[in-house]
Amino acid sequence: MAYTRAPASDYDDWGVDGWESLKLIPLMKKLEKYEAQPDCPTHGYDGPIKVSSSGCKMGISNEFIQVGATYHKRQCAEDTDDLETCNTYSPCQKYFDGSTGMRSDAAHHYIYNQAHNPNLHVWDGKRVKRVIFENKRAVGVEFTSDPVSCPDADQSSSIVRASKLVVVSAGAFGSPTILERSGIGAEAILKRCGIEQLVNLPGVGENYRDHYLVLVPYLATDDIATPFRGDSILQQSLARNSLDSKIKWRPDDEELKAMSPAFQLRWKDFFQDRPDKAVALFTPFAQYIPPPSRPLSNILAPRSSMTACYYILYPVSVGSVHINMTEHGKERMDFNTGILDDPSDIVPLNFGYKKTREIFRRMASYRGEFAAGHPDFPEGSAAACREASGPVDLYAPDIVYTTEDDEAIDRFHRDIVQTMSHSLGTCAMKPEADHGVVDARLNVYGVSNMKVADMSISPLNVGGNTYSTALLIGERAAMIITEDLGIDCV
């Protein structure tokens, strides 16, 4: 729902012919109708996907921008999704039609409006078992009814034939597991599941990447506007996510000095010479979001609340997604998030907690921390969480954290961090020798007549919410497929 585009350099870093940012920017503009601001050179104004502020903003968004920019010594701007701007507080646009407030998405603008098209057949409630091959040429798909969404449906297999092309677009979890069930993957993975190997592609299911998210709740004034307060005037906001402002944060020299050597090395190797790449994104939610891994009795907010959200954009850690079999012979998924495996990844999270806390405690709506959703600081700590009658002064000194406090923050993040559901990378578009799965034209290595087109092809992480990149991949895939099939319609 949130519109946060990755910087242009992310696509250049892929190093894939035809996927350079200069070639992709026209497609980014083609797909969108940017209603937030006119005459922005990197935005489109004639596409189907509408981008706007959605017409309903929560009051804390302005507090976050004003306090953050002043206290944090950063600039403000209307547009920080121009493919290069960082370290600037701004409104957060969304995929909404500004005139109707309705969500604007791929389903409505690319599928539902094609219901009359005799060439389009959509079967819901189905689950793909495998792609069918003849002499390593994809010729069809075997599928069944999904036992979860259609428990009473016939579970026998059906087959649909494809004379020209099979395109797998099942996401970072679905696409690699379909390939593995089809005999494409690492020998050891397939052998343990009793699947005959068709093509040895050990990169299938590897290279899982995501963003790492932390949500921290704060108490707020009783009159704060949130979508869950029950006021009739706020019912329209239930369709929104109450996320209306943000900053794509990069540390300045002073902040960088306060971070550990593990991250400073990461900074030097990856971020330092890439000024368009943010380390993390900070944003406020005008609602209470319970933290995971905490007992329910401890996480029910007693009154009006708001939540600090921060997530890192380029974790070093990677995971994997593979099929496996239970002891009863049923398929299951082996999912290793890889989360925080690399020691440099937790450092910006620890900083994000401290920085967002300082911003929130200066906002007019602040009435203290909701302690159950914060680190368990030692008794007597100056960092201990408590209720408050109002914000601290804008120029008040920062909280001083002891070594024991820092250890509590570290434990808190290891306990509470979660993936952002921005999953990608498991059918990576890179050379086969580098554990790639598809080439620059999305063809799966070792077979013919088969492509993968979804976020699983992204070889590296992207510095933004992945919906923008997913739409872009769809546009580029449409170009490639129509070119391959000799169709002149895109």
**27 CB-contact burial (10 Å; exposed 0-12 / middle 13-18 / buried 19+):** buried
Strand partners of residue 128? 143
Pairing status of strand 366-369 against strand 199-200: unpaired
Task: Report how far residue 397's alpha carbon sits from residue 358's, in angstroms, rounded to the nearest whole number.
Answer: 9
Task: Report how far residue 79's alpha carbon sits from residue 88's, in angstroms, rounded to the nearest whole number.
Answer: 9
- Residue 318 marked in a binding site: no
**Would residue 211 show up in a list of annotated catalytic residues for this protein?**
no
DSSP state of 185: E
Strand partners of residue 450? 166
- Are the C-beta atoms of 159 and 126 separated by less than 8 Å? no
Q: How many CB atoms lie within 10 A of CB 228?
A: 15
Task: Report how far residue 193's alpha carbon sits from residue 458's, in angstroms, rounded to the nearest whole number.
Answer: 27
DSSP state of 415: H
Q: What is the DSSP string of 286-316?
A: SS--PPTTS-HHHH--SS-EEEEEEEESS-S
**336 CB-contact burial (10 Å; exposed 0-12 / middle 13-18 / buried 19+):** middle
Scanning 118-198, the segments in alpha helix (DSSP H) are 171-181, 187-192
Q: How many CB atoms lie within 10 A of CB 459?
A: 24
- Are the C-beta atoms of 391 and 63 separated by less than 8 Å? no
| Maximum CA extent, the chain | 73
Q: What is the DSSP string of 321-390?
A: EEEEE-TTS-EEEEEE--TT-STTSHHHHHHHHHHHHHHHTTSTTEEEE-GGGS--PPTT-TT---B-SS
Residue 412 host element (H or E)? helix 403-416
Q: Catalytic residue among 43, 374, 413, 422, which?
A: 422
Q: How many CB atoms lie within 10 A of CB 377?
A: 20
Residue type, 42: T
Residue 98 host element (H or E)? none
Q: How far is CA 79 from CA 13, 59, 192, 334, 349, in A?
A: 23, 19, 51, 40, 25
Binding-site residues for FAD, please? Answer: 128
> Which of the residues are catalytic?
422
In the annotated binding site, the residues are 128
